[in-house]
Structure 1
Amino acid sequence: MSQPLISLILPCYNQAANLRQSIPFLLNQSFKNFEIICVNDGSTDDTKAVIQYFQQLDSRVRLVEQKTNKGTLSTRLLGALNANGAYITQFDPDDRLSNTFVLQNLSEHLDFEPDILHFKMRLVFDPPNFKIEPYHWANPRKLQIEPENLMSSFITDDLSHTTTGKLVKRGVYLRAIVDLRELEEKRVIYIDDFSLMFALANNAQVYKVADVEGYDYYTNDESVMGMLSQPKKCLKFLLDTKNVYEACHKIAANNPQKYEAEFLDAFIRKVVGMYTERLYRFSKLNFTEEDKFNMCKIIDADYLNDLQYNRAIWNLCGYTPKWKTNRKCWTFNV
């Protein structure tokens, strides 16, 4: 097969059931010049066997393996390293493309060779609350973003943090992988999109929007609440969040000619805002004192402790080593 125009990266950890549905749907696209790269991230179910089955049916399906589970970020990056397409897009196995003409419609927008082509996403809610609505937060907000404003648009959310719903040049991906090598070793599972999209925007210039409704993101309130009700997953979520923010801050801080002090200040404010929102949600849960203490130890890591707006984080969680506050969400002895 000649070089495909598009590579779809599917990170797969115990996704056998979803792959049985999503791969046939992808192969049914009217546009044929693409490949599907399924990265098996140390699955313990039949994920590998399902991929191999479709691999025998269609040469566009490729299997890439990680023998041990290394997390979503590492899986996405490994897929990009193995991609042959001129453009790469991330695709989660439990989601769908909106119709069989999506890739054909998107391919027609690539003649101008944008670094990032941003298209529309929809939220699909599982039964019993089934409905479909625009994914406003992830969708394009501006038809055009100038190169010098690309990173500031990431901070203001004009450029969303999702890697799904975007086609990105392979060369941009390869440069982003270099930026994320250190973070990749930390087995990031949660908010991997934030770090990857930050690194992609850091290495991109030309941003374009395609008025194409293309990606259906399936969401389930029970799965979100299931994560929030488990202390170990919440701890991992906070740790991943800290590591991701630290890595992105380092990318910007190491390039002072590109990122001025105002950008770093805005980034820090965003970090604190997102962190406090997560802590506020966690503080409402019925965790043990030990769980809460362990969460605060993560926040007390060097990076977050050095932020000049760190006080807002501590005020919200109620653990104040240096300041006094009446805004206590959590009460425990340390």
Structure 2
Amino acid sequence: MNISPILSIIVPVYNTEKYLIKCLDSLINQTIKNIEIICINDGSTDDSQSILERYQKIDKRIKIISKINGGLSSARNIGIEHAKGQYIAFVDSDDFIELNTYERSLLHFDSPKVDLVYFSTHLVYEVNVHRIQDEQYFEHKHHGLVSLSNDVMTKMDVCTWNKIYKLSIIKKYKIRFPDRLWYEDNPFFWSYTLVSDSAFFMNDKFYHYLIRSSSIMGQYKKKGKVYHRTSHELDPLLCFEYLLDFVFKWDVLEKFKPVLIDLFQEKMFESLKYLPRNERILALNKSTEIVVKFNLKSYFSDDSFITSLFNEKYHNISKVNLYFLNKKQRFLGIWDADKYYIICFLGIKIKIRKPK
């Protein structure tokens, strides 16, 4: 008689032979035994597949799904489709977890109010690489059972792997990761929390997150500067658009509305920062497209940010013009805007209205 696992652990694998054994050891030796470990080999070209097969012979709870490389989101989404547990968790194949992580964490689902268990993270630095994420970002601002209000959600990290979810909620609302986009954790996190009630915060640093220069996100930042040109500069905005599709489909705008503008601005400025200066207009055009697509002007008629995007009056948005100035112009120069001349002197911006 087959007993359904209480927990499904999804492990996307792509060329992580150097780290995979440590990851798998931390999973097969969990103190809770009624689990399934779904490993999705996303077209690895190294020895990852043979390592998975060797471990599958050791532990039959390991299921291997091999596919053509399609990215992290597609691998996780396939894992969701195959999951049979009551709860679901994600572990990246270059990371590892404490052996009692899931036994300790699952206990908190005994309360019917808990839709999410959120444990803390230990950062493991392989090399000296500057990261946007740091110790402060992963610090828990709450402890115990907490209602998922907007104030709480905005103070949580959006990472997928330091949380346990109810598979029933994911399936009911068809929550998935956006295909082939970076920053994919962001819409997944917001989608899930917007349709959930409460989370249980654990301060235990169960998850060991490896920061390495060759990881996907590690390619993007080094000493605070972009050093690897990619095709993902607009992805923050594309993920935000993906999230809004979910928000309007499931009618959760009222819950999301108080933070929508701030999050929208954050993603627009992220894309502006990542794009080369001569392509930054693409981020503004995409932002206008989002405003029109979701008719945001009707929901935020008095908001200057939305109005400026809707009317394509980008110069009215605070700090936008600075993204189109070169270094010399930022300190001393004149910027010709629609209704104003903008004079920059030693970093101070002065707006002078044009004569009619």
Q: TM-score range by the shorter chain?
A: 0.7 to 0.9
Give percent identity, aligned residues only: 21
Alignment of 1:158-173 (within 5 A): 159-173=156-170
Equivalent of 1:174 in 171, 178, 190: 171
Alignment of 1:144-293 (within 5 A): 144-146=145-147, 149=149, 151=150, 153-154=152-153, 156-157=154-155, 159-176=156-173, 178-180=174-176, 184=178, 186-188=179-181, 190-220=182-212, 226-227=219-220, 228-231=226-229, 233=230, 235-236=231-232, 238-256=233-251, 258-260=252-254, 263-264=256-257, 266-277=259-270, 279-280=272-273, 282=274, 291-293=276-278
- CA distance 1:43–1:313, change in 2 (3 Å): farther
Equivalent of 2:281 in 296, 300, 312: 296
- CA distance 1:323–1:138, change in 2 (3 Å): farther
Query: Aligned partners of 1:249 and 1:312: how far apart in 2?
Result: 24
1:244-286 superposed Cα distances (whole Å, 9 cap, x missing partner): 1011123224455x433x8436312222124325634x47xxx
Query: Aligned partners of 2:91 and 2:5: how far apart in 1?
Result: 16
Unaligned stretches of 5+ residues in structure 2: 221-225, 293-304, 310-316, 326-335, 348-356
The aligned counterpart of 2:301 is none
The aligned counterpart of 1:100 is 99
2:208 maps to amino acid = D
TM-score, normalisation: structure 1: 0.77
Which 4+ stretches in 1 moved above 6 angstroms? none
The aligned counterpart of 1:36 is 37
The aligned counterpart of 2:295 is none
| 1:88 Cα deviation after fit | 0.8
1:218 maps to amino acid = L
- CA distance 1:327–1:7, change in 2 (3 Å): farther
- CA distance 1:244–1:107, change in 2 (3 Å): same
1:13-43 superposed Cα distances (whole Å, 9 cap, x missing partner): 2223321321123212232222211112222
1:216-248 superposed Cα distances (whole Å, 9 cap, x missing partner): 1122368656433121x2x31x23212110111
| 1:49 Cα deviation after fit | 2.5
1:164 maps to amino acid = W
Query: Aligned partners of 1:326 and 1:254: how far apart in 2?
Result: 45
- CA distance 1:31–1:323, change in 2 (3 Å): farther
| 1:123 Cα deviation after fit | 1.4
State the Cα RMSD in Å: 3.2
Q: Mean Cα displacement is larger for which, 39-48 or 115-124? A: 39-48
Check the 8 A contact 1:31/1:101 in 2, yes or no.
Answer: yes
- CA distance 1:273–1:127, change in 2 (3 Å): closer
1:308-329 superposed Cα distances (whole Å, 9 cap, x missing partner): 1653473242179857655799
- Higher-Rg member (1/2): 2
Secondary structure at the aligned position of 2:31 is classed as coil
Equivalent of 1:318 in 318, 324, 331: 324
Query: Aligned partners of 1:252 and 1:60: how far apart in 2?
Result: 36
Query: Aligned partners of 2:45 and 2:19: how far apart in 1?
Result: 15
- CA distance 1:167–1:127, change in 2 (3 Å): same
TM-score, normalisation: structure 2: 0.73
The aligned counterpart of 2:137 is 137
- CA distance 1:221–1:46, change in 2 (3 Å): closer
Unaligned stretches of 5+ residues in structure 1: 284-290, 330-334
Check the 8 A contact 1:252/1:264 in 2, yes or no.
Answer: no
Check the 8 A contact 2:41/2:66 in 1, yes or no.
Answer: yes
The aligned counterpart of 1:45 is 46
How many residues align? The count is 302
- CA distance 1:240–1:220, change in 2 (3 Å): same
- CA distance 1:24–1:275, change in 2 (3 Å): same
